[in-house]
Amino acid sequence: MSAYAFFHKQFMPLSEAKIGILTHALHYGTACFEGIRGNWDSEQERFCLFRIQDHYKRMLEGCRILKINLPYSVDDLCQLTRELLERSGYREDVYIRPLAYKSSEAVGLRLHNLEDDFFIIVTTLPPYLDIDNGVRCCTSSWRRVDDTMIPPRGKICGIYVNSALAKTEA
């Protein structure tokens, strides 16, 4: 089993997929992503991908909001994901992270006149919560941003700091 990525419109070893430190999305959160569960069905020897088309439809909506132009349809993205899973050789539950982003190495607040790129990575899916040690819950003091500020429906990267703060607080 080898770790692969789909990056710069090709499949490659994950270790070769690199992004520069001046990448616009790194500085301004100008990216959108999805998190797709892939559950391995050992009887049928295949992955069951949870609502993959719905995930990619939402991702393309996030791309529209951020003015990210991807040359892929929902069906293309689903097929790329399946091919990446096949190349990676996993036979266990996985987490699939597609991410579209402003890839120009540029400083400055804008969405226009910037290059766009896209990648997909796959990793094994560890337990999200450590239930053996109990789960701590609370009502967070951090509130979700309003849709008129940054649209949460687009799964835009910069918004997810809010979720990290809330999870850390709990």
- Reported as a pLDDT band with limits 50, 70 and 90, residue 1 is low
Q: What is the pTM for the complete model shown?
A: 0.89
Q: Helix (H, G, I), strand (E, B), or coil: what is residue 144?
A: coil
Q: How many CB atoms lie within 10 A of CB 42?
A: 8
| CA atoms of 85 and 49, how far apart (whole Å) | 11
Q: Where are the alpha helices (DSSP H) in 15-100?
A: 24-28, 52-66, 74-88
| CA atoms of 21 and 6, how far apart (whole Å) | 20
Q: What is the pLDDT of residue 68?
A: 98
Q: What is the pLDDT of residue 94?
A: 96
Q: Render pLDDT for 99-144 as a digit per residue (tens, 0 to 9).
A: 999 999 999 999 999 999 999 999 998 777 777 888 878 888 877 7
Q: Render pLDDT for 36-82 as a digit per residue (tens, 0 to 9).
A: 999 999 999 999 999 999 999 999 999 999 999 999 999 999 999 99
CATH topology of domain 4-128: D-amino Acid Aminotransferase; Chain A, domain 1 (3.30.470)
Angle of CA points 98, 20, 111, to nearest 5°: 65
Cα dist. 15→2, 29, 69, 95 in Å?
10, 23, 26, 18
| CA atoms of 1 and 137, how far apart (whole Å) | 37
Residue 121 has φ and ψ, to the nearest 5°, of: -125, 160
Query: Are 112 and 67 within 8 A, CB to CB?
Result: yes
